[in-house]
Amino acid sequence: MDLYTIAFYLFAVITLVSASIVVFSKNIIYSAFALLFAFFGVAGLYVLLMADFIAVTQLMIYVGGILVLVLFGVMLTTRVINVDMRTGTIQTLPAVLIVAALAGTLVGVFWTTDWRIMPAFPGFEKTAPRIGELLLTSYLLPFEIASVVLLVALVGAAMIARREKKAS
């Protein structure tokens, strides 16, 4: 066992344990905060895969953006308006069907993919310059489409926020 293997299992355990808290906890605030450790563990796994840019992006987008948004939602409803938010089990049959389909797809992808296993690099390769170069050459169209979608989302959010202000 070298440090790399220990780090891998450490991050894997962090991810799996906190992800199961997210799913199984009855208290929604615990779910929301456990999400932090799940995202953190996944970021650690990305680092071990030498994908440092993806790892930091994961922290920035998911922890700094999405998680804070989720927490805002949960906090404002439970503590300020005093709604007791609990998670329960409803709609069992459709849930089972959808989860089974999703799990089947994932397992199918997992088995049919031709995983390319490469020996680890001796050191970190610089990933950011190559990602930048590829995004502005080979993958320019998807990149631009994503940015337009984000812009539309921003304009839409501003529209919704503004309309509410006028009504009140």
Partner 1 sequence: MEAFQNLGFWGTLLVTIVLSALPLVFVLLYALVTIYLEMKVAAHVQDRVAYMRTGWHGVLQPIADFIKLIQKEDIISVAANKKLFILAPYIVFMGTYGAYAAIPFSSIFIGANIDLGAFFIIGISSLVVVGILMAGWASNNKWSIFGAVRSAAQMISYEIPTALAVLIAVMITGSLNLQEVTKFQAGGIQNWLIFGGPLPLLQKILITPFTLITFLILFVASLAEVNRTPFDLPEAESELVQGFFTEYSGMRWALFYVAEYANMFLVAGVAVALFLGGWESPFGSFLSGPIWGLFWFIIKGMVLVFLQIWLRWTLPRLRVDQLMYTSWKVLTPFLFVCIIAIGLILVL
Task: Choose which of 14, 19, 21, 52 interacts with partner 1 (CB under 8 A).
Answer: 52
B/e letters for 82-109, b = 16+ CB within 10 Å, e = fewer, are eeeeeeeeeeeeeeeeeeeeeeeeeeee
Q: Which stretch binds partner 1 (CB under 8 A): 9-17, 58-66, 95-103, 160-168?
A: 58-66
Which x/- pattern, by CB under 8 A, does the window 83-112 give for partner 1?
------------------------------
Task: Choose which of 19, 21, 63, 135 interacts with partner 1 (CB under 8 A).
Answer: 63
Which x/- pattern, by CB under 8 A, does the window 107-126 give for partner 1?
-----------------x-x
CA dist., res. 63 & res. 40, Å (int) = 8
Helix, strand, or coil here: 68?
helix
21 binding partner 1? (CB under 8 A):
no
> What is the dihedral angle through the alpha carbons of 17, 82, 64, 139, rounded to the nearest 10 degrees?
90
